[in-house]
Chains A and B, each alone.
Chain A
Amino acid sequence: MDFSATLENSRILKGIIEAISFLIDETYVYVYPTGLKLNAIDSSHVAMLLAFLPKELFTEYKCSQDSKIGINVQDLIKILRRSGGKDEIQLQLDKKDKNTLLITMKSDKSTRTFKLKSKEIPGYDAKEEGLLESFEETLKDKFSATIQIEGAVLDEIVKDALIISDLIKVQVLSAEKVMNFTASDESGEVAIEIDLEKGVLDKKVQNDAEGIYSLNFLENIIKIQSITNHFEIALGNNIPMKIKGAITSSAGNPTDGKIVYLLAPRVEEENEDEFGDDFDANDIEEELSSGGGEEDSSGEDDE
């Protein structure tokens, strides 16, 4: 098995590995004759990321057969952060030891080679390699709105919302031609309205769409602006949100390169069949606020 791939600089790889590091500690890098793929699902199984770097993105790419390299994400980041902005980066499987990944940084003045042991990742389900594809297949007919938005715009929205809450409600209203973002908690609310005629790069809206998502994940997702400057957001009703960024070559040319996120929604409790009417949160609140005597102040007096 021969594998060797050279990038003009570490920007794209570093961006992707950093995005993955928010989700997991260890992952496989899949290498194929067509390019390189990374996959990660976070331990709560709420967010997943897939990145594909086609061989066109590389200045040199050689891969004789499908293979996978298990890496410790933190170790790889530490190494990539050592590269200068103009250093050429080469990834290579060691010819003498196929369980070792060689990472070489070349500048005018020096050539530095790091060796990283490939590892078996326990509990890693073989299905995960194709998991994102199965999600895309399952969800593709359920997305009712697809919006192209500038990375910087999404960045501002997420930062606004984080001031108020750790959840954000995303809504597309087809008749009103708007996309709404709302975050609220007891302390207040923020509402952001984006005009679908003027405020987005492109749109395809068949129907209204809506979902509530964790801002902690979104906050990390938008950090991939370092490699892609606009996002395609696909939404349906209370289904995972898909955020896709295209990866262009350093000359700015489009490629098949992409980074895709899927983020599972929070679903408001009335849809929850496990509790039914007996455990409606509102009833509890009512009981707490109307109750008297001994039992009326649970919660408040803990602080």
Chain B
Amino acid sequence: MSFTTDLLERRGGCLEIASASPPSFFVGHSGYPRVSIGPMLPHSLDSPLEVHDMDAPEQWLVPGSPASTHKQLMEVVQFRSSLIRTTHPAYVKEKGASDRILGLSQQIAMAEKPVATEIAVEKLHVNVQVDDHAAPNGPSGSLQRLAITENPRVHRKVDYAVSDTDLKASEAISKYLYADGHLPVSDIYRILSAGLLGIEENRKLVPTRWAITATDDTVSKSLIERVKSFPELGEHLLHESSYLGNSFHIIFVPRPWVYEMMECWSPHSIWRLFDRDKSYVIVQDHELSDGRTTYASNITGAYYSARLGVAEYLTSIKRQAAVIVIREVNEQYLMPLGVWVIRQAVRDALARPPRKFSSLKEVLAAIAPGLQVPLRYWLAKSQLLPYIRSQRTLESFLPRAAP
């Protein structure tokens, strides 16, 4: 990793940096409920990205854009490692009013444009941390001083949702910030993680990785409620895409809403390097029309990120369907980069024209040649395919209405 220091100044035991936070704010999860928080800002402007985009995964793969514009794995690692993550200890119930650094961090978290920020950090750890939920993080340093040197610009809906201390977090997220404010998911979870949403007494800092999944879950759940009132899709659709060694095959079956995700990591990927057993291990989670009451613990956060992409798509076409997402991860996915990869790749697959079929059998026959793991393994693992194949709907017994 190149570590350019054009914005750094060493003074005493501290490194001082004057740059701009994209805005970016991170809450670690270790030690919960005593966590480490702080804004992130670049130590170098030697990045192919605008400062704002360094913490905006929506810009790293713009759905439907040419593949040549999609950020590659090493590019992501490179620009993420040029962000310094500041750390400041905080108890999750701490309020910005009583902890100055937290208060300033919250102002940064709320901003819609980069915020000119000055920091002094000590004990810089120069490394890259990867996480299966959050995007990779670069060097981190203990925050000694934090100053904002301009007035952050705050989106009107953010201002409203943060000021209304009687507004439930779920409503703030899905209605005010997502539906009305059209805020990107990455802005919403940053604000949620900063403990700025919800009913006053329930507000607390939320570790970034949990905030990401909570946001994907909350937004998609509210979209699905609407989706369930739409007419059923008229045909079988197959959407496919591939990004950073992740291939997605997304099947839509004309039926009332149900959802399943299955994934398989290549037995030859570095993650399974030491597995003596090189068999295909498929993991699976699903939900029927009435949703889940438990966490999708096999697939974890990716389940909700993919579900968001799917729910957005069905909302846009005003149809409901039974949806099965198949994800294959090959050797090229050298490290987990966070669930944004899944969210953006699914959105990208759904932004491209689907292949259309008249039966599930045809869809499966079309997928089979492109799969690394043979189709029969997916069929054997799926819980929804047998359900879709066998569970009749009441309407299927009504004489078909004349077209």
**A residues touching B (Cβ–Cβ < 8 Å)?**
41-48, 122-124, 134-135, 138-139, 212, 214, 238-240, 262, 264-269, 272-276, 278-279, 281, 284-285, 287-288, 294-299, 301-302
Chain B 371-403, CB-CB to A under 8 Å as 1, else 0, gives 001101101110000100111111111110000
A214–B390 Cα distance when bound, in Å, is: 11
Contact status A46-B398, CB under 8 Å? no
B336 to chain A, nearest CB (A): 19
Q: Contact check, B393 vs A265: say whether CB atoms are below 8 A apart.
A: no
Is B360 on the interface with A (CB-CB < 8 A)?
yes
Flag whether B248 is at the interface (Cβ < 8 A). no
Tell me whether A138 and B278 are in contact in the complex, defined as CB-CB below 8 angstroms, given that A42-B290, A299-B381 are known contacts. Answer: no
Cross-chain contact B393 with A279 (CB below 8 angstroms): no
Listed A/B pairs (16) with beta-carbon separation below 8 Å: A42-B290, A43-B257, A44-B257, A44-B393, A45-B393, A45-B395, A46-B393, A46-B394, A124-B229, A135-B398, A139-B397, A264-B393, A266-B390, A276-B361, A301-B279, A301-B281
- Whether B279 and A294, one on each chain, are in contact in the complex, defined by CB atoms closer than 8 angstroms, is yes
Cβ 8 A contact of B361, one of A135, A265, A279, A294: A279
Return the contact of B360 from the options A275, A285, A302 (Cβ within 8 A): A275
Residues of chain A lying within 8 A (CB to CB) of residue B374? 295
Contact A44 B397 (CB under 8 A): no
Q: Is the CB of B361 within 8 A of A298?
A: no
Residue-wise, chain B 277-299 has the 8 Å CB interface mask toward A (1 for contact) of 11111111000111000000010
Query: Which chain B residue has the least Cβ–Cβ distance from A45?
Result: B393
Q: Which 10 A-B pairs have the closest CB atoms?
A: A123-B229, A44-B289, A43-B289, A45-B393, A266-B390, A297-B279, A298-B377, A264-B392, A274-B359, A298-B280
Residues of B within 8 A of A (CB): 226, 228-230, 256-258, 267, 277-284, 288-290, 298, 359-361, 364-365, 373-374, 376-377, 379-381, 386, 389-399
Contact A302 to B389, CB < 8 A, known contacts A43-B256, A134-B398, A297-B277: no
Of B278, B298, B386, B396, the residue contacting A294 (CB under 8 A) is: B278
Sample of 6 more A-B contacts, CB < 8 Å, known A45-B256, A295-B280: A46-B394, A47-B394, A123-B228, A123-B230, A274-B359, A285-B380
State which of B278, B386, B389, B394 has its C-beta within 8 Å of the C-beta of A240.
B394
Q: Which residues of B contact A285 (CB under 8 A)?
A: 380
Provide the residues of chain B in CB contact with A265, threshold 8 Å: 392
For the complex, give the distance between the alpha carbons of A48 and B256 in Å: 14
CB < 8 Å: which of B279, B282, B394 contacts A45? Answer: B394
Q: Are B386 and A269 in contact (CB under 8 A)?
A: yes
Which residue on chain A has the smallest CB distance to residue B381? A299
B380 touches A288 (CB 8 A): yes
Who on chain A is nearest to B374 by CB? A295
List residues of chain A with CB within 8 A of the CB of B230: 123
Whether A288 contacts B376 by the Cβ 8 Å rule is yes
| List of A residues within 8 angstroms of B397 by Cβ | 135, 138-139, 239-240, 264
Contact B394 A299 (CB under 8 A): no
How far does the alpha carbon of A124 sit from the alpha carbon of B230 in the complex, in Å?
A: 9
**How far does the Cβ of A210 sit from chain B's closest Cβ, in whole Å?**
14
Q: Is the beta-carbon distance between B390 and A138 smaller than 8 angstroms?
A: no
Closest residue of A by beta carbon distance from B288: A44
Residue in B257, B279, B376, B392 whose beta carbon sits within 8 Å of that of A296 in the complex:
B279
Closest to A211 in B: B392
**Whole-angstrom CA separation of A284 from B281 in the bound complex:** 16
- A299, B380: Cβ atoms under 8 Å? yes
Knowing A139-B397, A274-B359 touch, does A43 contact B278 (C-beta < 8 A)? no
Chain A's closest residue to B393 (CB) is A45
Q: Is the pair B361, A301 in contact by a Cβ cutoff of 8 Å?
A: no
Verify B289–A298 contact, CB threshold 8 A: no
- Known contacts A269-B386, A275-B361; is A298 also within 8 Å of B393 by CB? no
- A residues in contact with B229, CB < 8 Å: 122-124
Instruction: Kindly state the separation between the CA atoms of A275 and B359 in the bound complex, as whole angstroms.
Output: 8
CB distance from B392 to the nearest CB of A (A): 4
In the assembled complex, the CB of B390 is this many whole angstroms from the nearest CB of chain A, namely: 4
Could you tell me if A43 and B228 are in contact, using CB atoms closer than 8 angstroms?
Answer: yes
Chain A CB count within 10 A is highest, among B279, B288, B386, for: B279
Within the complex, the shortest CB–CB distance from B145 to chain A, in Å, comes to: 50
Assembled-state Cα–Cα distance A301/B278 (Å): 11
- Shortest Cβ gap from A276 to chain B (Å): 6
Contacts of A278 in B (CB 8 A): 361, 365
Give Cα distance in the complex from A129 to B9, angstroms: 73
Tell me how far the C-beta of A204 lies from the nearest C-beta in chain B, rounded to whole angstroms: 21
Residue among A44, A214, A268 with the highest chain B CB neighbour number at 10 A: A44
Which residues of the other chain, B, contact A287 by a CB distance below 8 angstroms?
Answer: 376
Interface pair B390/A268, CB less than 8 Å apart: yes
Q: Check B361 against A266 for contact (C-beta < 8 Å).
A: no
Query: Which of B256, B281, B298, B396 is the one whose CB lies under 8 Å from A298?
Result: B281
Q: How far is the CB of B223 from chain A (nearest CB, A)?
A: 13
B391 lies within 8 A of A46 (CB): yes
**Are B380 and A266 in contact (CB-based, < 8 A)?**
no
Inter-chain contact A279/B256, CB cutoff 8 Å:
no
Q: How far is it, in angstroms, between the C-alpha of A302 and the C-alpha of B282 when the chains are bound?
A: 7
Q: Which residues of B contact A41 (CB under 8 A)?
A: 394
Chain B residues near A302: list those with CB within 8 A: 281-284, 298, 381
Shortest distance in angstroms between A27's beta carbon and chain B's nearest beta carbon? 13
Set of chain A residues within 8 Å of B377, measured between Cβ atoms: 288, 295, 298-299
Inside 8 A of B376's CB, which chain A residues have their CB? 284, 287-288
Provide the residues of chain A in CB contact with B359, threshold 8 Å. 273-274
Closest to B279 in A: A297
Point out the residues of chain B lying under 8 angstroms from A267, CB to CB: 390, 392
C-alpha spacing A273/B226, complex, angstroms:
31
Interface pair A272/B399, CB less than 8 Å apart: no
CB distance from B1 to the nearest CB of A (A): 36
- Expressed in whole angstroms, the minimum distance between the Cβ of B362 and any Cβ of chain A is 9
